Amino acid sequence: MATIERADAAAQAQGGIPTRSQIEDFLYLEAALLDEWKLDEWLALFAEGATYDVPTTRAEDDADSADQLFLVADDYARLQHRVRRLKKPGAHSEWPRSRTAHSITNVRIVAVEGDELLVRSLFITYRAKNDVTDCYFGHHIHRIRAGADGLKILSKRSMLDMSSLRPHGRVSIIV
């Protein structure tokens, strides 16, 4: 049986604006790396200087973490620390780690400017630990650069489209 390599959308992206299916492959790859807890490989999808935000529930898409309380507002340094922390047994909320299923759908390229794309998608993420399963849902807003080094995430914002973060006690996973 032939081995099917993990689709490397980054390689396909070179030369021209990526297609939606290439972007989808890239987002599916991101989801798979999180589910497989390959956090260093996940981090490598981000460009240096990238940011990762999770505003509070019911926030607007353009909410600003400089004047509003968020759940996560990582600059690149804190994003690196987040990954480093999650791999330690001292991150008790993820040790033993939870099981997750990150599902991505309704992927749309909503704007293209030069080599940057603005991509919206819906997500449903299930997280299971201690015999409890929580569901997070909402939409991602990715800014993605299609450059010589392939596709890189410039920013990722995860909007939780729930009315509150209940019954969940934590977003200790990356949604």
Partner 1 sequence: MATAFEKRPAGSGWVVEDHASFRVARTTFTDQDVLERERAAIFDRCWLYIGHESELPNANDFVRRQVGGRDLIFNRDRKGEYRAFFNSCPHRGAAVVREDKGSTISFKCFYHGWSFNNNGAFATRFAAGTYPEDFNRDGCADLTAVPRLAGYAGFWFVNFDAGAESLEDYLADAKDFLQVVADHAADGMEIVGGIQEYSVRANWKLLVENSFDGYHAHETHSTYLEYLVDAIGGPAELFPSRGNISRAYDLGNGHAVIEGPAPWGRPVAQWIPAWGEDGREEIAAIYAELEQRLGKERAEQVAYGNRNLLIFPNLVINDIMAITVRTFYPEQPDYMNVNSWALAPKGEARHFRKRRLDNFLEFLGPGGFATPDDVEALESCQRSYRNRAAAGWNDISRGMLRDMPLADDEAQMRAFWREWDRRVAEAE
Q: Which residues bind partner 1 (CB under 8 A)?
A: 54-59, 63, 65-73, 77-78, 81-82, 85, 88, 90-94, 130, 132, 164-172
Looking at beta carbons only, is 102 or 152 nearer to partner 1?
102
CA distance linking residue 98 with residue 132, whole number of Å = 10
- In 3-state terms, what secondary structure has residue 40? helix
Least Å distance, CB 17 to partner 1, is 33
CA distance linking residue 95 with residue 55, whole number of Å = 25
Least Å distance, CB 3 to partner 1, is 38
Looking at beta carbons only, is 118 or 162 nearer to partner 1?
162
Contacts of 93 (CB under 8 A, 6+ apart): 170, 172
CA distance linking residue 115 with residue 47, whole number of Å = 13
CA distance linking residue 29 with residue 17, whole number of Å = 19
Least Å distance, CB 59 to partner 1, is 6
Least Å distance, CB 78 to partner 1, is 7
Looking at beta carbons only, is 71 or 118 nearer to partner 1?
71
Looking at beta carbons only, is 19 or 68 nearer to partner 1?
68
Tell me the C-alpha to C-alpha distance, in Å, between residue 132 and each of 30, 44, 85, 128. Answer: 24, 31, 23, 6
Nearest to 155 by CA among 59, 72, 47: 47
Least Å distance, CB 99 to partner 1, is 15
Looking at beta carbons only, is 22 or 65 nearer to partner 1?
65
